[in-house]
Structure 1
Amino acid sequence: MYKNQLQELAQRSCFNLPSYACIREGPDHAPRFKASVNFNGEIFESPTYSNTLRQAEHAAAEVALNSLSARGPSRSLTARVLDETGVYKNLLQETAHRAGLKLPLYTTVRSGPGHVPVFTSTVELAGLSFTGESAKTKKQAEKNAAITAWSALKRSE
């Protein structure tokens, strides 16, 4: 999942595709792998060794996406593309899954005149509620709520 998202981010941003490097250690019957990914000139490394090359590359891609998304919902090109691709919603869902929590629940309210609707979404996760900026579409309102939640959760770490 993370490798795909990182590749999509690169393509939408007109960056070179991510390139992975790997270190293998251990005996042939029990190898361990640690990977790094070069994304737009920045190197991101998997935090631990993994049992498979694939797991190591996914871990490196996850570090890259978390690092890029932690830079906040600024209006930089990377942040806009992360927003457009729905990475924040995916990160919230993955975080909930890993923590054994219920999946994020989105509640969206429509207001405004019929020809110019305004949507405001709130996401609930682990008993906390986060409301995002209003938007012209339900989909964007949910993404905005996910950005608000992710940013708040990252600040509280």
Structure 2
Amino acid sequence: MYKNQLQELAQRSCFNLPSYSCIREGPDHAPYFKAIVNFNGETFESPSFCSTLRQAEHAAAEVALNALALRGPSKALAARVLDETGVYKNLLQETAHRAGLKLPVYTTVRSGPGHVPIFSCTVELAGMSFMGQPARTKKQAQKNAAMAAWSALRKGELH
């Protein structure tokens, strides 16, 4: 998923496509991998070794996207690519599935005049509710709620 988003960011920014290299360690019967992605002249490394090359490459791409989303002129573009692809909704669903939890439930409320509606959305996951920023479309309101939930999960605000 992250590799695709990094590639899309490169295409939208007219950069060269990302290139990956890997470090392989361990015995032949149980190798583990660390990946490095070269993106627009910068290198980003997966934070730890992974059991598959694919996981390591996705981890390196995630590091790159997160770093790019926090700085420079590509900040807005990187954030928009992550948002447009619906990555946060996918991440919440995948996390719930892996943890054996019920899938996230989105509750959207419409307000405002009919010609200029405002949608507010709350997502429930593991007995917790997260509210996103209001938006002009139901789809965007759901993405905003998913982004709020994912941000809280990443910051450890659940414990």
TM-score by length of 2: 0.78
- Structure 1's 24 and 108: CA in aligned 2 closer, same or farther, altered over 3 A? same
State the AA in 1 paired with 2:136.
K
Q: Distance in 2 between matches of 1:138 and 1:67?
A: 29
Q: Distance in 2 between matches of 1:26 and 1:151?
A: 34
- Structure 1's 141 and 77: CA in aligned 2 closer, same or farther, altered over 3 A? same
* Stretches of structure 1 lacking an aligned partner (at least 5 in a row): none
Matched-pair contact (CA < 8 Å) for 2:9–2:77: no
State the AA in 2 paired with 1:140.
Q
State the AA in 1 paired with 2:50.
S
Matches within 5 A, 1:137-152: 137-152=137-152
- Structure 1's 134 and 93: CA in aligned 2 closer, same or farther, altered over 3 A? same
Q: CA deviation at 1:48?
A: 3.2
Q: CA deviation at 1:55?
A: 3.0
Q: What percent of counterpart residues are identical?
A: 81
Residue aligning to 1:3: 3
Matched-pair contact (CA < 8 Å) for 1:24–1:32: yes
Q: CA deviation at 1:128?
A: 1.3
Q: CA deviation at 1:28?
A: 4.5
Residue aligning to 2:37: 37
* Stretches of structure 2 lacking an aligned partner (at least 5 in a row): none
Matched-pair contact (CA < 8 Å) for 2:8–2:81: no
SS of residue paired to 2:135: coil
Q: How many residue pairs are counted as aligned between the two chains?
A: 154
Residue aligning to 1:131: 131
Matches within 5 A, 1:104-119: 104-119=104-119
- Structure 1's 46 and 15: CA in aligned 2 closer, same or farther, altered over 3 A? same
Residue aligning to 2:53: 53
Q: Distance in 2 between matches of 1:12 and 1:128?
A: 36
Deviations 1:12-64 (A, max 9, x none): 34333221111123454544322111234443222333343323222322343
TM-score by length of 1: 0.78
Q: CA deviation at 1:151?
A: 2.2
Matches within 5 A, 1:20-35: 20-35=20-35
- Structure 1's 29 and 132: CA in aligned 2 closer, same or farther, altered over 3 A? closer
SS of residue paired to 2:152: helix
